[in-house]
C-alpha cells in the first residue's frame, strides 16, 4: 500500500506541472479602446510610447510563485505592417535594470517576435519560460531578433496597482530610465502557476485516503499507474513545446 501512495503522489505532482489552460500571470494596466490607427497617436489624440529600434518600453514585475509562461504581449499599433520583439529579463530587485542594451548578458531569459496590428489591438507572441519567484522585466522594442518595424504602445487603459515602467534608448548614451510620467501602458504575461510541492503532497495524501476508503488495493494501484502513463505523455509534450519555442526564432503570427 505504501508503494501505491508513492505512485499516487508522483502522478499528482506530474499532473500539476503539466499543460493547463493559460491564465493571466501579470498585467500592468487594463485594456482601453482598441482599433485606433497609428495616425491618431502621431496627432497626439491618444497617449502612447514609441516602441521601435530607438526606444524600448518595459515594465518590472514580481512573481511570488513559480510559473511557466505561455505568451507575452500587450496593446500595440504599428506605423505599418511589420514585427517587434518582446523579451523577459531577470532582475535582482525592484529597482534593478537589465544588464545590457542588446540582451547579450546572462540575465536575458528569452524573446519572441510579434506582428504589429495596423489598427491598435492586444497582440501576443509565444514564449515558454520557467520562472522562479523574484523580479523580472518585460521589454518590447524593435531592431533585434529579426524584428524591424516601428510602432507604439497605446496608453489608454488604467494602471493596475503601481506598475514600475522603464525605458531604454539603445542608440544614445543614456541607459535604462525609470518612467513615472507615462502611465497606463498595457503589458501582459499569460501562463500557469506551478503549485508548491507541499501543497501537492498534502492533496495527494487526502486523495489517497479518500480512494482507499472507496476502492480496493488493486483498483487503486491501477488508477495510479494509468495516471503516471498519461502524465508522462503530457510532460513530454510540454518539454518539446518549450524546446521549440526557445530555438525557433522565426516570426510568428500574433493572435
Q: What is the pLDDT of residues 36-93, one digit of tens each?
A: 999 999 999 999 999 999 999 999 999 999 999 999 999 999 999 999 999 999 999 9
Burial class (CB in 10 A: 0-12, 13-18, 19+), 213: exposed
**Domain coverage including residue 59:** 21-193
The answer to whether 127 touches 69, Cβ cutoff 8 Å, is yes
Q: Which of 169, 193, 217 is the last residue of a domain?
A: 193
> Quick check: is 253 in a domain?
no
Number of structural domains, the chain? 2
CATH of the domain at 150: 2.60.120
**Whole-number Å distance between alpha carbons of 69 and 129:** 5
Q: What is the pLDDT of residues 217-251, one digit of tens each?
A: 565 566 556 655 555 555 665 566 555 545 444 44
Same domain for 143 and 204, yes or no, is no
**Whole-number Å distance between alpha carbons of 28 and 111:** 19
pTM of the model: 0.73
Same domain for 112 and 162, yes or no, is yes
Same domain for 60 and 179, yes or no, is yes
> Quick check: is 129 in a domain?
yes
Amino acid at each position: 500500500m505504501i508503494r501505491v501512495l508513492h505512485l499516487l503522489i508522483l502522478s499528482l505532482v506530474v499532473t500539476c506541472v503539466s499543460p493547463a489552460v493559460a491564465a493571466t500571470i501579470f498585467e500592468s494596466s487594463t485594456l482601453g479602446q482598441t482599433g485606433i490607427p497609428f495616425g491618431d497617436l502621431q496627432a497626439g489624440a491618444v497617449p502612447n510610447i514609441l516602441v521601435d529600434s530607438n526606444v524600448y518600453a518595459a515594465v518590472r514585475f514580481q512573481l511570488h510563485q513559480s510559473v511557466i509562461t505561455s505568451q507575452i504581449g500587450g496593446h500595440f499599433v504599428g506605423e505599418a505592417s511589420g514585427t517587434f520583439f518582446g523579451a523577459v529579463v531577470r532582475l535582482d530587485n525592484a529597482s534593478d535594470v537589465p544588464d545590457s542594451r542588446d540582451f547579450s548578458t546572462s540575465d536575458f531569459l528569452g524573446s519572441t517576435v510579434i506582428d504589429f496590428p495596423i489598427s491598435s489591438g492586444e497582440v501576443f507572441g509565444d514564449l515558454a519560460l520557467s520562472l522562479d519567484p523574484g523580479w523580472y522585466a518585460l521589454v518590447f522594442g524593435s531592431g533585434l531578433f529579426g524584428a524591424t518595424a516601428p510602432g507604439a504602445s497605446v496608453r489608454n487603459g488604467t494602471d493596475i496597482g503601481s506598475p514600475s515602467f522603464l525605458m531604454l534608448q539603445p542608440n544614445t548614451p543614456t541607459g535604462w530610465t525609470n518612467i513615472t510620467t507615462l502611465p497606463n501602458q498595457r503589458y501582459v504575461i499569460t501562463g500557469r502557476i506551478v503549485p508548491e510541492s507541499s501543497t501537492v503532497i498534502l492533496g495527494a495524501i487526502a486523495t489517497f485516503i479518500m480512494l482507499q476508503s472507496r476502492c480496493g488495493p488493486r483498483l487503486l494501484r491501477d488508477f495510479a499507474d494509468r495516471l503516471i502513463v498519461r502524465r508522462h505523455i503530457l510532460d513530454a509534450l510540454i518539454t518539446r513545446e518549450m524546446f521549440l519555442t526557445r530555438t525557433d526564432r522565426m516570426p510568428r503570427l500574433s493572435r
